[in-house]
Structure 1
Amino acid sequence: MRTITLIVVHCTANKAGSTLRVKDIDRYHRSLGWKGCGYHYVIPTDGTIEKGRAEDLVGAHCKNHNKHSIGVAYVGGLDVDGKTPKDTRTPEQKIALWKLIKELKERYPKALVVGHCDLDPRKPFCPGFKVHGGQSK
């Protein structure tokens, strides 16, 4: 069993309204030579919580932090122009993200909830909003 100390929140850096699903991310990540979707969970625009990589497996979502973290990504993060960083979460995504983080915190009560940007200065706009200890409002 892995020791989880972080729950890392991401955006997928897709434009608002993207129809991307976990199967699409899985296919893309495999094309890069990875073992599948690098995130443990993906939340599409409809608010479905889709499982990516199993929690007991090391993710591929945050360099130097994958060994001890769970990666959660919402689909979006860019304005409709596909270039400008923006919090594009739908109301359904906000609810699902809060619910998922709550469930993960019950399983990993000592884990800190952080945004990708809090761990990697090269990703200053990921996930597109400030993550404060599990609140994703």
Structure 2
Amino acid sequence: MRAIKYLVLHCTATPQTTTIESIKDYWKRVLGWKNPGYHFMIKANGEIVNTFPIENIANGVAGYNTPSIHIAYIGGVDAKNNPLDNRTDAQKASQIKLLKELKLKFPTAIITGHRDFPKVNKACPSFDVKTWLKQINF
């Protein structure tokens, strides 16, 4: 297993009704990626879907993928594609559950948002991860 330094939270920047298959198709067909962007995606109903083995390197944050596991919730934008933290309660609960599980496996990993990496100019995951972790006493 590779050394994991980061557990990175993302949003898909799509409507909450977007399917995982259409997101994966976009990565492959439009972006030309061989590997997906996230290891896990969380549907609006809270279902956690493992979309890529954590042993493999995903395309979540340019320059930081080797030491990272990427977790995205489906959503993160409003009807006009503006950033919006529209996580459902089920998605938040699933994020917490998954982060707890991953922290047991990788206790020194830093939980952070995509936007918190250097030279990243996007709102992803559409909320402040550090503030949220404090609010939930994580």
TM-score with structure 1 length normalisation?
0.88
* Gap regions ≥5 residues in structure 1: none
Q: Which letter does structure 2 place at the counterpart of 1:44?
A: K
Query: SS state of the match for residue 28, structure 2?
Result: helix
The equivalent residue for 1:71 is 70
Match of 2:124 among 120, 126, 133: 126
SS at structure 1 position matched to 2:130: coil
Deviation at 1:133, TM superposition (A): 8.6
Q: Which residue of 2 aligns with 1:5?
A: 5
After TM superposition, give the deviation of residue 93 of structure 1 in Å.
0.5
TM-score, with normalisation over the residues of structure 2? 0.88
Following superposition, which runs of at least 4 residues in structure 1 exceed 4 angstroms of deviation? none
SS in 2 for 1:114: strand
What is the CA–CA distance in structure 2 between the aligned matches of 1:49 and 1:23, rounded to whole Å? 14
Structure 2 unmatched runs, 5+: none
Q: CA deviation at 1:134?
A: 8.1
Instruction: Report if aligned partners of 2:58, 2:70 keep a CA contact under 8 Å in 1.
Output: yes
**Quick one: which of 111, 114, 133 aligns to 1:113?**
111
Aligned residues of 2:11 and 2:124 also touching (Cα < 8 A): yes
Q: How does 1:94-109 map to 2 (within 5 A)?
A: 94-109=92-107
Determine helix, strand or coil for the equivalent of 1:104: helix
